[in-house]
Chain A
Amino acid sequence: MSGRWRPLTRVGAQVWSLVAVLALVSVGFASLSDRFADLDNLRNVLLQAAPTMIGAVGMTLVIAARGIDLSIGAIANLALALALLGAGTRSEAALATDTTWLVYPIAIASGLALGTLNAVATNVLRLSALITTLGTLTLYRGLGLHITAAGLIAVRGPILAFGRAQLWGIGVPVFAAVLMAVAGWVFLSETPTGRRLLAVGGSPRSAVETGLRTERLLVVAYAASGLCGAIAGLILVGRVGVVNPDLGYGMEFTVITAVVLGGTSLFGGRASMFGTVLASLLLTTIDNGMTLIGADPYAYDVVRGVILLIAVSADAASAHMRSRRSPVIPELRA
């Protein structure tokens, strides 16, 4: 029956071109460094990609609903600061903060709450999400700085477990990322709420006229984004072992790049979770490979910038193709 079911999360041309680029980039790096095509390195890439990927899954939901969340990195920061505030004990002698398992529920609840606040602010202020989340970006970062006194806080204890644990030799964050991506995909393409989210992104006006509860749906999207930000923050902190003021700084750019590169339209209504995953991997692979081949540090940004431009033009080109495909309408009346 569903032979003609064409989900908007379908594997589209964008994804195939990503697969091609990823393959090309990998072959290139592999030929320049014999350590690139190596199981250990694959583990590294996956682990390094996990925070970006998780953040990008949340961001995909937001962008699919024609929103944007610039505050995702600030949420990573503030959620972890709040977790330390609630479940950390400063040990002066060791210059480190001891934590309890409570950091996890606190960070996750904070992420959800801060994301929800983004949605509420957007709904109440009736401003564009770009403006509101730019505001909350500053607010959340400011609060984070305030709580941590802008200090670098070395952390110990359970907070490190998530970022460092392994399962069959693979970092647990990798499993978390895959799980989140699958959950995001199922949500968007299989659940009524997910379809409604895409509807809101496709046409906010129609959504209102159709009686969709746009504001509630936005809460779902932004809360998800906040949740993903907090989880990404937990991974970053778990791996590096510090909560620093720069935690999550610039994460929004990497994550939005991954989402758009993955084929999710910035104009909403079209999302590709698979593309998001691939693009996160591609961005991480580029950084990884550049280090492996000992590239000039100034080349990193150039390569990333070129990729972003390709992503944006591909998005525009596909929008252009769609508009050309629009039907020819006979329009005579007698």
Chain B
Amino acid sequence: MIDRKDVEHVARLTRLALTEPELERMRVELNSILAHLDTLRAVPTEGIEPTSHAVDIVNVMREDEVEPCLPQDAALANAPDPSGDFFRVPRIIEE
């Protein structure tokens, strides 16, 4: 079971500012998702290797070759606050 404290913790980790009603809604929704996982857990999986993928493919790799980059103005095009050559972001407070 996910309680309010779990939701607050996850919201904080994902930098989401949730209102009281949103916190409550998330608690209910996350619990229903977990309940669905319980359904999946009921499937017998003994003797089956765990996997992280639905497709049976391994070793997809590329050669170490340089490809064209984005022009700088395109890279910065969607930045909310570009500054010269850079993306500009609010100062991070360390202490």
Partners in one complex: no
Which positions in A face B, CB cutoff 8 Å?
Answer: none
Contact surface of B with A, Cβ cutoff 8 Å: none
